[in-house]
Structure 1
Amino acid sequence: MAKYKSKFVCQDCGYESPKWMGKCPGCGQWNTMVEEVATTSKPSAHGELHHLQTEPSKPSKITEINTVEEVRQHSGTSEFDRVLGGGIVAGSLVLVGGDPGIGKSTLLLQTAHAIAKQGLRMLYVSGEESAKQIKLRADRLGALSDNLYILPETDLERIEAHIKLVNPNFLIVDSIQTVYRPGLQSAPGSVGQVRECTAFLLRIAKSLNIATFIVGHVTKEGAIAGPRMLEHMVDAVLYFEGERHNTYRILRAVKNRFGSTNEIGIFEMREGGLEEVTNPSELFLSERPHGVAGSCVVASMEGTRPVLLEIQALVTPSSYGTPRRMGTGLDHNRVSLIMAVLEKRMGLYLQSQDAYVNVAGGVRVDEPAVDLGIALALASSFREQLMRPTDVYIGEVGLTGEVRGVSRIEQRVREAMKLGFTRVIVPTKNLRGWQPPGDIEVIGVETVQEAFQVALGG
């Protein structure tokens, strides 16, 4: 007979304690300890796939291991393939997270349909919607195929039985917080259930060579709910980002064992579903204002793709003793650092000024190559001087006011030339070793002062 005992488990980090504590000793969070009932009996073996029992491993010489390049399956959209590193790898386990209502289920249903049209079997397991609800969404998206199977189920043992029956090539589980293993006494969505269900799906994916996508809910801080171990177990972690009032969505990889984590995929949410954006630079600059101070264009690299973005700055006298420094899409600490450089090296009196910097389009930029654009946008707004609308600014700004070189300058300049810009201001170091194209003027600067003279006339 099974013996039951109670324990308290932190829902953020998985720390276990025999008694309740207000503050978790593992992660330091308050009120995250939840009581769970543990059993000392073995979990039910009902439904365990017989061929999940693999032969014991043995050490092998690394020089004798035969490797073949992973066979990748086209997902139906080049943007999704770009983020995954070239396509879906057989037997991989991919975690997709994002805010509620951002479009995770829509993205995966469209991907499932695209794969099913290629003659491959796709099993879509939903623990949040009924089959009729999914069918209504599929009608709206035009995602109907005889190779697409829908299973509204939360019991993992029943899901396992249907996997054995359907024998799919691809599997989608929406979401991991709703499925549960009957052998565990904890509630669905708890740390123990999420950990065990993910481990079980990982064994299925690797043993049966089924590419599996699981949807993960996010917390109010934006991180995927559940133990941090969840992100360590999977092969790739993708975040679907965007503002709910904005039609544009960004798919970003924060972990990828089969490709780069610097790539992003850009989609537009329309009535008929998500559509990929093949030219994001033109999209982000489509509503750029003209004849307004504080606006400039920078060239950022997102993985292997150059993207032109608009930086907007507003500098206004502060009404309080301590001026505000805010950045949307940027690190506000970086904005404060650049403002300190402008005040010390350029003599701009910004101590009594509020500063607001925004990356138009809802994009987040982390690379330092946009520093020069931020500095010039702030100076333009402070001096109320306009910059040429056909200029692009590239460069990292150091604490001594120097403009430092950046990588992949050729690709950035070509992207600016393709969109009709006539002049690019770059670090002087980047002019060495390559010949700029003749259709665009490339000016090298060594300091922020030189950049001001070129862009603002002093």
Structure 2
Amino acid sequence: MAKSKTQYVCQNCGYISASYLGRCPNCGAWNTLVEETITAAKVAATPRTTTAGAKVQPQKLTDVTITKETRVKTKLNELNRVLGGGVVPGSLILIGGDPGIGKSTLLLQVSGQLAQTGGKVLYVSGEESASQIKMRAGRLHVGDSGMYLYPETDMPSIQQAIDDLTPDYVIIDSVQTMNVPDMNSAVGSVAQIREVTAELMRIAKSNQITIFIVGHVTKDGAIAGPKILEHMVDTVLYFEGDMHHTYRILRSVKNRFGSTNEIGIFEMHQAGLEEVANPSEIFLEERLAGATGSAVVVSMEGTRPILVEIQALISPTMYGNAKRTSSGLDHNRVSLIMAVLEKRASLMLQNQDAYLKATGGVKLDEPAIDLAMAVAIASSYRDQEISPTDSFVGEIGLTGEVRRVNRIEDRIKEAAKLGFKRIFVPKNNLHGYDDIPKDIQVIGVTSVAEALHKVFN
């Protein structure tokens, strides 16, 4: 009889302890160690093989043949952009997001589109029955696509179904519900998730099958399970949005076949997700005319420039310590910009509460948003309006200088396309580009004090 032992595994980072600990010494999370029973059974190693049974053999680098990377286009151009131009055969794609945000809707919609174009799709669901999926597919107008449904959580059965069908695409919804019977760990544990993902990676790479994996997220917004899960896959996408609004953002945080930090904008309807071709108009459509504390920044999300309104509300504090609150912006960056404004632009902000927000539910974290944040703060503090046709791009240093940013030509063109008449940019960015639209004035600034003087005078 095989010996078994008990160990405690952190469900957040995968740390293993021989005894129970209230706090994980590796990641610092509380109450995340779960007891697991491990049976010391000898398991024969299985080499990587294809569905036809062929084993992978070592070969010289010079003998490896390279074929041009082919991509399969879906009918959702926003998804194609986030993936780097389309779906790469044999890739392993992980999609995470809050419950009810629309992950299953997106993948079922994409599965139907891929099946309608001739691809063989196997949709494996561990959370819904086949009848539930069919009802939702009818609502999404992909009920007659011809995809295969398989409500199952047993990994050996799923592997057998893949061997029998030899599909082009496999959707696993979700990885936390899949189960490897040989392991005594509970379903959804770190060991189970790691083993399931490793097996799916072997299937994808050996047979050139594209596999989409749905992953649950923790209360902190990270994909549940060990961090190694994100390292094993080719692409990691996060589906973000507010449950009370219809807009959804698909963000790429890792992509071996394209750029990271690329975003796609969708709008949720009764018949599924519809892509938003021009998100800048969405983010600016409800901008209030004549309001103070509002500045527009041209931010780069991957390869796409988008215009986002940054709002600031500055009011005298009622307590001893001033409050700093931000939504969609980094809290530390807000504090840094306010300190620079107080020291370099003579704004007395230490006794002022500050509330900053990036509208539209988008999260901005690139350095080029600094100048727009500073102008919005100064506008609210002075109660002076900013021209509605002004936009801003620039990073601010601790000495108050406005530093150069990348992709300035694309930013200027996007601002001109949306009807902005002036754009404030770092002075060092004024050279090295051409083909700038004639209907927008590009103003270079060297310091935050100079920028505020030109904006409000």
Q: Give the TM-score normalised by the residue count of structure 2.
A: 0.95
- 1:49 deviates by 7.6
The aligned amino acid for 1:75 is T
Residue 75 in structure 1 maps to residue 74 in structure 2: yes
The separation in 2 between residues aligned to 1:75 and 1:90, in whole angstroms, is 13
CA offsets 1:160-191 (integer angstroms, 9 cap, x no match): 12112222110000000001011111111011
Matched residue SS, 1:134: helix
Residues 44/110 of structure 1: CA separation in 2 closer, same or farther (3 Å cut): farther
1:232-243 equivalences under 5 Å are 232-243=231-242
Residue 425 in structure 1 maps to residue 427 in structure 2: no
CA offsets 1:276-317 (integer angstroms, 9 cap, x no match): 111011111011111111011111111111101101000000
The aligned amino acid for 2:202 is R
Matched residue SS, 2:164: helix
The separation in 1 between residues aligned to 2:23 and 2:441, in whole angstroms, is 60
The aligned amino acid for 2:451 is A
Q: Contact between 1:119 and 1:147, CA under 8 Å: does it hold in 2?
A: no
Q: Contact between 1:423 and 1:443, CA under 8 Å: does it hold in 2?
A: yes
- 1:24 deviates by 2.7
1:396-435 equivalences under 5 Å are 396-435=395-434
Residue 11 in structure 1 maps to residue 14 in structure 2: no
The aligned amino acid for 1:449 is A
- 1:417 deviates by 1.0
The separation in 2 between residues aligned to 1:198 and 1:53, in whole angstroms, is 21
- What is residue 326 of structure 1 aligned with on the other side? 325
- 1:66 deviates by 2.9
Residues 401/157 of structure 1: CA separation in 2 closer, same or farther (3 Å cut): same
Residue 347 in structure 1 maps to residue 346 in structure 2: yes
- Which deviates the most, 109-118 or 70-79? 70-79
The aligned amino acid for 2:173 is D
- What is residue 153 of structure 2 aligned with on the other side? 154
- 1:411 deviates by 1.0
The separation in 2 between residues aligned to 1:115 and 1:40, in whole angstroms, is 43
- 1:443 deviates by 1.5
The separation in 2 between residues aligned to 1:243 and 1:44, in whole angstroms, is 47
- Which deviates the most, 23-32 or 123-132? 23-32
CA offsets 1:233-289 (integer angstroms, 9 cap, x no match): 111111101111121111111111111112111111112111111101111101111
- What is residue 219 of structure 2 aligned with on the other side? 220
1:28-427 equivalences under 5 Å are 28-42=28-42, 51=51, 55=55, 57-58=57-58, 60-61=60-61, 65-427=64-426
- Which deviates the most, 272-281 or 36-45? 36-45
- What is residue 27 of structure 2 aligned with on the other side? 27
Q: Percent identity?
A: 58
Q: Contact between 1:311 and 1:357, CA under 8 Å: does it hold in 2?
A: yes
The separation in 1 between residues aligned to 2:72 and 2:337, in whole angstroms, is 45
Q: Contact between 2:401 and 2:448, CA under 8 Å: does it hold in 1?
A: yes
Q: Contact between 2:115 and 2:147, CA under 8 Å: does it hold in 1?
A: yes
CA offsets 1:57-105 (integer angstroms, 9 cap, x no match): 43634x5543222211112211111111111111111111011111000
The separation in 2 between residues aligned to 1:6 and 1:453, in whole angstroms, is 68
Aligned-pair RMSD on alpha carbons?
1.9
CA offsets 1:17-71 (integer angstroms, 9 cap, x no match): 333233333333332221212222246999x98748664643634x554322221
Matched residue SS, 2:425: strand
- Which deviates the most, 285-294 or 398-407? 398-407
- What is residue 452 of structure 2 aligned with on the other side? 452
The separation in 2 between residues aligned to 1:250 and 1:37, in whole angstroms, is 40
Matched residue SS, 1:306: strand
- Which deviates the most, 48-57 or 339-348? 48-57
The separation in 2 between residues aligned to 1:314 and 1:196, in whole angstroms, is 49
Aligned length: 455
The separation in 2 between residues aligned to 1:103 and 1:213, in whole angstroms, is 14
The aligned amino acid for 1:202 is M
The separation in 1 between residues aligned to 2:387 and 2:31, in whole angstroms, is 54
- Which deviates the most, 435-444 or 103-112? 435-444
Matched residue SS, 2:442: strand
The aligned amino acid for 2:77 is S
The aligned amino acid for 1:389 is P
Q: Contact between 2:298 and 2:391, CA under 8 Å: does it hold in 1?
A: yes
The separation in 1 between residues aligned to 2:188 and 2:205, in whole angstroms, is 23
The separation in 2 between residues aligned to 1:103 and 1:403, in whole angstroms, is 40
Q: Contact between 1:89 and 1:211, CA under 8 Å: does it hold in 2?
A: yes
- 1:433 deviates by 2.7
Q: Contact between 2:10 and 2:16, CA under 8 Å: does it hold in 1?
A: yes
The aligned amino acid for 1:14 is G
Unaligned runs of 5+ in 2: none
Residues 191/427 of structure 1: CA separation in 2 closer, same or farther (3 Å cut): same
Residues 201/378 of structure 1: CA separation in 2 closer, same or farther (3 Å cut): same
Matched residue SS, 2:292: coil
Q: Contact between 1:341 and 1:400, CA under 8 Å: does it hold in 2?
A: yes
Q: Contact between 1:43 and 1:184, CA under 8 Å: does it hold in 2?
A: no
Residues 144/453 of structure 1: CA separation in 2 closer, same or farther (3 Å cut): same
Q: Give the TM-score normalised by the residue count of structure 1.
A: 0.95
The separation in 2 between residues aligned to 1:319 and 1:223, in whole angstroms, is 36
The separation in 2 between residues aligned to 1:399 and 1:293, in whole angstroms, is 25
Q: Contact between 1:242 and 1:362, CA under 8 Å: does it hold in 2?
A: yes
The separation in 2 between residues aligned to 1:310 and 1:265, in whole angstroms, is 18
CA offsets 1:116-160 (integer angstroms, 9 cap, x no match): 110111010000011111111111111223431111111111111
Matched residue SS, 1:375: helix
Q: Contact between 2:113 and 2:145, CA under 8 Å: does it hold in 1?
A: no
Matched residue SS, 1:230: helix
Residues 241/50 of structure 1: CA separation in 2 closer, same or farther (3 Å cut): closer
CA offsets 1:198-229 (integer angstroms, 9 cap, x no match): 11111111112110001111111111111111
Residues 333/18 of structure 1: CA separation in 2 closer, same or farther (3 Å cut): closer
The aligned amino acid for 1:339 is M
